[in-house]
């Protein structure tokens, strides 16, 4: 476009008056004022030619870009990061729009399919109603034929009877007209009896219709009409797969807590859930919970084991697909305390159920809260009190072990009982492997239960006490102690097995 500034020669050699600059920021006191671009110094004069001004402006812009401050660089970096985030959102929005457009097409296809299914179902109902209609009409026709047959039979019977009666009446009238008295006297009695008999025959319901003209049938259509009025859509789809809420799923010791929910947009009714866990060895899944709750805690798992969990939903229609599988890791070592619920009444608990004493001179048994059936487990018992040389027993037992006798007296406990000088192993009241070395106040008794090798080993002050105490152990075992009022052990659970403990001496 034409420039607002003419292009005169140097000092107006074109012979024309110098044109004034039209930019208001270049005017000052009626004179033309310019800004020297390179030196930032003002000067007065004519506007330079257009081409030179453009070149200088480009040079100035490049010069200014080279002088960007650190804050400008920071702002430029922040803007770039913000644009990257916005770009990601825009990309997600485009993908979401594609998804929505696909949903429009899918809705149309599903609508056509559903309408066809609905028409087919209604047509099936109409066909069933027409078949029932034909059956009912057949019954009406049978009733119609039956009524006609009964009435026609009665008409035929009455016609014959009436003909006989009419003939008898005509004969009697002829006899009455007979002029032979002797002949009349001979047959009159018989005729009188015959007339009375015929009259009596007419009087025994002969003149009553044997069939009514009405059809004693009423169509009970109220239930069907009610069903038609109640005919409506019901949810006939299986639920969507539940979603495991990872932020609420956790493990503690040998327990696992799992939480799940239905997908946010799911409208299908759910009647319950089925939670499945494998055996901790990658084996088959088994059901551990069936119910309506969306959170479940599973106890009694193996320590130091990896479990896989999954959940599915169900309703009257069927069962949903499984959720994603969640992998859970139980604690490597077992932390537990003594169990007041299963202990003898004479046992006294303290220190968060880690320390036990007894108010009886007789032996009393207390078990740990956690049972073991797999893995390698080690715990220690510190002797906090030891008076008058008692012989407490330490080991493992079944849940139903005798609680009022020394540990090892029955066949449900495997123990080492020890005094201040020596120890014995005992199971089912059988004493074996007397070993020198006892306990005092401050001593530590260690119990090593290796259910991989199925052995039980004891130690005193970290030194193995005797050979392997028991072998071929199998099943569920609980830590156990028997004590009387002269001894007070303290439980120290959750101890990692040291390398040398894994290599027990035979």
Highest mean pLDDT among 5-9, 69-73, 80-84, 264-268: 80-84
At 302-345, the pLDDT tens digits run: 888 899 999 999 998 899 999 999 999 998 888 999 999 999 99
Average pLDDT, the chain: 84
CATH code of 243-329, in short, is 2.60.40.10
Name the residue among 384, 379, 404, 377 with its Cα closest to residue 473: 377
C-alpha triplet 123, 124, 129: angle, nearest 5°? 95
Beta strand residue intervals within 268-319, DSSP E: 272-277, 286-291, 295-298, 306-314
Residue 460, pLDDT > 70, answer yes
Residue 6, pLDDT > 50, answer no
* Pair 389, 418: CB distance under 8 Å: no
CA distances from 114 to 109, 121, 142, 336 (A): 9, 10, 42, 59
Which of 26-30, 393-397, 483-487 is predicted least confidently? 26-30
d(CA 34, CA 24): 11
Per-residue pLDDT, averaged over 262-271, amounts to 88
pLDDT score, position 58? 56
d(CA 503, CA 302): 22
Per-residue pLDDT, averaged over 168-173, amounts to 88
Rg (CA), the chain: 55
d(CA 451, CA 471): 10
At 89-117, the pLDDT tens digits run: 999 999 999 999 998 999 999 999 989 99
CB atoms within 10 A of CB 192: 11
Domain boundaries, the chain: 24-65, 243-329, 347-492
pLDDT score, position 449? 95
Characterize the bridge pairing of strands 413-418 and 31-35. Answer: unpaired
In terms of pLDDT, which residue wins out, 389 or 19? 389
At 46-93, the pLDDT tens digits run: 444 555 555 545 555 555 555 568 888 888 888 888 999 899 999 999
d(CA 228, CA 19): 95
* Residue 50 Ramachandran class (φ > 0 left, ψ -120 to 50 alpha, else beta): alpha
Q: Give Cα 60 to chain centroid, integer Å.
A: 69
- Dihedral sign for Cα atoms in the order 120, 126, 130, 136: positive
Is residue 43 exposed (0-12), middle (13-18) or buried (19+ Cβ within 10 Å)? Answer: exposed
- Predicted TM-score of the model (pTM): 0.53
Highest mean pLDDT among 221-235, 277-291, 352-366: 352-366
Name the residue among 394, 425, 428, 430 with its Cα closest to residue 412: 428
pLDDT score, position 218? 87
CA dihedral 339, 344, 350, 355 (to 10 degrees): -80
At 125, the pLDDT band (50, 70, 90 cuts) reads very high
User: What are 227's two structure tokens?
Assistant: 């069903």
- Dihedral sign for Cα atoms in the order 294, 300, 304, 305: negative
DSSP letter for each residue of 325-360: -EEEE--SS----B-TTTS-TTEEEETTTTEEEESS
Name the residue among 384, 397, 443 with its Cα closest to residue 418: 443
At 499, the pLDDT band (50, 70, 90 cuts) reads low
Identify the helix (H) or strand (E) that includes residue 148.
helix 70-177
User: What are 399's two structure tokens?
Assistant: 């849940």
d(CA 75, CA 482): 74
User: What are 155's two structure tokens?
Assistant: 């008409």
Q: Give the chain's end-to-end CA distance (angstroms, integer).
A: 106
**Residue 149 three-state SS:** helix
**Domain 347-492 CATH (choose: 1.20.1280.290, 2.60.120.920, 3.40.1350.10, 1.10.1060.10):** 2.60.120.920
**Residue 88 three-state SS:** helix
CA dihedral 144, 150, 156, 157 (to 10 degrees): -170
DSSP letter for each residue of 478-499: EEEEEE-TTEEEEEE--PPPPT
> b vs e for 117-151, b when ≥16 Cβ sit within 10 Å of the residue's Cβ?
eeeeeeeeeeeeeeeeeeeeeeeeeeeeeebeeee
pLDDT score, position 389? 84
User: What are 418's two structure tokens?
Assistant: 């020890």
d(CA 344, CA 366): 7
At 284-297, the pLDDT tens digits run: 999 999 999 999 99
Residue 504, pLDDT > 90, answer no
User: What are 129's two structure tokens?
Assistant: 């109603």
d(CA 237, CA 275): 20
Name the residue among 381, 418, 400 with its Cα closest to residue 478: 400
pLDDT score, position 62? 52
Characterize the bridge pairing of strands 272-277 and 444-450. Answer: unpaired
d(CA 302, CA 186): 123
Percent pLDDT > 70 in the chain is 84
In terms of pLDDT, which residue wins out, 438 or 178? 438
Q: If you count them, how many residues does the chain have?
A: 506
């Amino acid at each position: 476009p034409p420039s607002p500034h003419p292009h005169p020669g140097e000092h107006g050699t074109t012979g024309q008056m110098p044109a004034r600059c039209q930019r208001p920021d270049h005017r000052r006191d009626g004179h033309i004022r310019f800004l020297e671009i390179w030196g930032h110094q003002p000067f007065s004069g004519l506007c330079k030619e257009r081409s030179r001004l453009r070149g200088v402006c480009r040079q100035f812009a490049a010069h200014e870009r080279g002088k960007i401050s650190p804050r400008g660089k920071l702002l430029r970096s922040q803007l770039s990061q913000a644009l990257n985030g916005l770009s990601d959102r825009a990309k997600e929005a485009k993908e979401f729009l594609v998804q929505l457009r696909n949903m429009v097409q899918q809705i149309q296809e599903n609508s056509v399919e559903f309408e066809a299914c609905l028409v087919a179902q209604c047509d099936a109902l109409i066909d069933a109603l027409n078949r029932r209609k034909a059956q009912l009409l057949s019954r009406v026709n049978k009733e119609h034929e039956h009524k006609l047959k009964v009435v026609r039979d009665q008409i035929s019977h009455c016609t014959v009877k009436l003909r006989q009666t009419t003939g008898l009446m005509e004969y009697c009238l002829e006899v009455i007209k007979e002029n032979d008295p002797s002949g009349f006297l001979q047959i009159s009695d018989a005729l009188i009896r015959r007339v009375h008999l015929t009259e009596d025959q007419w009087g025994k319901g002969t003149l009553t219709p044997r069939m009514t003209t009405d059809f004693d049938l009423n169509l009970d259509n109220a239930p069907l009409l009610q069903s038609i009025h109640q005919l409506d859509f019901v949810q006939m789809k299986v639920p969507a797969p539940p979603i495991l809420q990872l932020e609420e799923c956790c493990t503690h010791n040998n327990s696992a807590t799992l939480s799940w929910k239905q997908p946010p947009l799911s409208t299908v009714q759910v009647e319950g859930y089925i939670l499945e866990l494998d055996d901790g060895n990658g084996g088959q899944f088994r059901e551990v919970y069936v119910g309506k709750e969306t959170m479940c805690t599973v106890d009694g798992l193996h320590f130091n084991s990896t479990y896989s969990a999954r959940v599915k939903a169900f309703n009257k229609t069927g069962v949903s697909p499984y959720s994603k599988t969640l992998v859970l890791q139980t604690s490597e070592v077992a932390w537990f305390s003594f169990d007041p619920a299963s202990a003898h009444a004479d046992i006294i608990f303290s220190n968060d159920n880690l320390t036990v004493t007894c108010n009886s001179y007789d032996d009393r048994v207390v078990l740990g809260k956690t049972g073991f059936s797999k893995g390698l487990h080690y715990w220690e018992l510190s002797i906090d009190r030891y008076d008058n040389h008692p012989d407490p027993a330490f080991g493992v037992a079944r849940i139903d072990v005798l609680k009022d006798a020394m540990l090892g007296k029955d066949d449900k406990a495997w123990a080492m009982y020890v005094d201040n000088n020596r120890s014995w192993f005992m199971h089912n009241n059988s004493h074996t492997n007397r070993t020198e070395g006892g306990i005092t106040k401050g001593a530590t008794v260690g119990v090593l239960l290796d259910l991989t090798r199925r052995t039980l080993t004891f130690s005193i002050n970290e030194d193995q006490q005797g050979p392997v105490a028991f072998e071929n152990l199998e099943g569920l075992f609980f830590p156990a102690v028997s004590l009387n009022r002269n001894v007070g052990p303290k439980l120290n659970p959750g101890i990692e097995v040291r390398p040398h403990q894994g290599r027990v001496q035979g």
